[in-house]
Amino acid sequence: MTDETTTPNKTEANVPDNSTTPDTEVEAPIGETLDMAFLALQAERDQLFETLARSQAEFDNIRKRQQREAEQEAKYRAMPIIRDILPGLDNMRRSLEAANKGGKLDDLTKGVEMTLKQFEELLARFNAVPIPGAGTPFDPNLHQAISQAPSAEHPPMTVLMEVEKGYVMHDRVVRPSKVIVSIAPQS
């Protein structure tokens, strides 16, 4: 006789067989959790894309505004200098009007000298100072030789005459002086 109580059949056992019957109680919450996580990630992605788009738009607006401001600055950069030059030009016109009305040569000369002084003061205010001229050694960084002349009084490569005054601003040459330079006299 066989004892049925001692050897239970596999189908009668209280332990479920996972290989044949799916456990729906465990899978449903995991599926819902995954769906919720996926939806949350999509919402976060969409929010990040929106933030990125706004940031890019703001960056473009800032760049465009800075470009407009730079263009305006460049366009009107010389205005303060022009305002400072205008009084000198007015004085030159007054001098010419006085000369045309039959003014004295001394008055005209005095007016031109005053205007020249006004321009020199204006240049000094902007830190533009004249390059030393006649009697100084020739410096190719400061002078542009346009001619040479023999001179027994000066050593060779000395500035004899300044044809056009040059200026430096701080440590940069605004315009080199155009000069005539001495050479040794021929015997």
Integer CA distances (angstroms), 167 to 123, 142, 171, 187, in order: 9, 8, 10, 36
* Helix, strand or coil, per DSSP, at residue 135: coil
* Helix, strand or coil, per DSSP, at residue 106: helix
Per cent of the chain over pLDDT 90 is 50
Alpha-carbon 133 to chain mean position: 35
pLDDT on residue 90: 86
Give all domains of the chain, ordered by start, each with its CATH number. 128-187 (2.30.22.10)
Instruction: State pTM to two decimals.
Output: 0.57
- When mean pLDDT is compared over 25-34, 93-102, 160-169, the highest value belongs to 160-169
Convert the pLDDT of each residue in 58-68 to its tens digit. Answer: 999 999 999 99
pLDDT on residue 13: 47
Convert the pLDDT of each residue in 90-133 to its tens digit. Answer: 888 888 887 778 767 887 888 888 888 999 998 898 899 999 98
